[in-house]
Amino acid sequence: MSNAPAQDTLAQDFVAFAVESRVLRFGEFKTKAGRLSPYFFNAGLFDDGAKLGRLAEFYARRLIASGLQFDMLFGPAYKGITLAAAVSIELARLGHNKPFAYNRKEAKDHGEGGTLVGAPVQGRVLIIDDVISAGTSVRESIEMIKAAGATPCGVTIALDRQEKATANGQDAAESAVQQVQGQYGLPVVAIATLTDLMGFLDVQSDAALVAARPAVQAYRQRYGV
């Protein structure tokens, strides 16, 4: 689910940015579910100050436009740590100063101790990540937030692949995003979706992008929700 229309400008600009940055690539890639995907989105490649700053701008603009109310950001280790920090900076620049926190993979037994780092986890907490693949990091984040006495209020991601989740090697009826929404009653705000990616490919003249479209369309027909 995206809180935005299929062809909204922000999503189209984001897809174009991801392609230009080589974060979104086309070819043949094996997913965690064992599928051969014709595209691959690797947010770890937003790996310099300019790209990370622009990514944060897209998250912040989407969040503000969504109207979702939250008191702080929580970034699950590891990618969520950088995202929470960067988006917190951009939100503050736009007049929405929010604290952020994140978790360690392993508890620390000295200094401040524990697994949570940053601002006290309290109030309405928004989880930030790059994508939701199996929903594992979201589930773990929800448990940590609740254990701290706070309330998970939503999830924001860069790209919603809008494809069926897998369970025990079988395709589910719902996507991982839909499962998170259904199981936890949390809204998921995505900067862009597979629908937006298809809309982007529809209007391209570059030969490589034109050539990529049929494979993405076929993949969507097979695995899409």
Nearest residue to 212 via CA among 51, 28, 48, 64: 28
Tokens of 11: 């999503």
Specify the number of domains making up the chain.
1
Nearest residue to 143 via CA among 179, 115, 165, 113: 115
Residue type, 156: T
Q: Tell me, what's the pLDDT at 180? A: 93
Assess if residue 2 is contained within a domain.
no
Q: How many CB atoms are closer than 10 A to CB 36?
A: 10
Query: What is the domain range of residue 103?
Result: 9-223
CB 43 within 8 Å of CB 132: no
Assess if residue 219 is contained within a domain.
yes
Q: What is the rounded CA–CA span in Å between residue 98 and residue 183?
A: 27
Q: Of 54-63, 94-103, 126-135, 190-199, where does mean pLDDT reach its minimum?
A: 126-135
pTM: 0.92
Q: Which helix (H) or strand (E) segment is 124 a member of? A: strand 124-128
Assess if residue 184 is contained within a domain.
yes
Q: Tell me, what's the pLDDT at 1? A: 42
Does 108 qualify as catalytic in the annotation?
Answer: yes
Assess if residue 1 is contained within a domain.
no
CA diameter of the chain: 57
Nearest residue to 190 via CA among 225, 161, 164: 161
Which residues have a Cβ under 8 Å from the Cβ of 218 and sit 6 or more positions away? 38
Assess if residue 3 is contained within a domain.
no
Assess if residue 4 is contained within a domain.
no
Which residue among the candidates 51, 108, 146, 164 is catalytic per the annotation? Answer: 108
- By CB atoms closer than 10 A (0-12, 13-18, 19+), residue 213 is middle
CATH of the domain at 52: 3.40.50.2020
Does 110 qualify as catalytic in the annotation?
Answer: yes
pLDDT category of residue 49 using cuts at 50, 70 and 90: very high
Assess if residue 211 is contained within a domain.
yes
* Top-confidence residue, 207 or 104: 207
CB 166 within 8 Å of CB 133: no
Assess if residue 151 is contained within a domain.
yes
Which residue among the candidates 79, 98, 105, 110 is catalytic per the annotation? Answer: 110
What is the average pLDDT value for the chain, to the nearest integer?
92
In this structure, is the dihedral angle defined by the CA atoms of residues 3, 198, 86 and 186, taken in order, positive or negative? positive
Q: Read off the DSSP letter of residue 21.
A: T
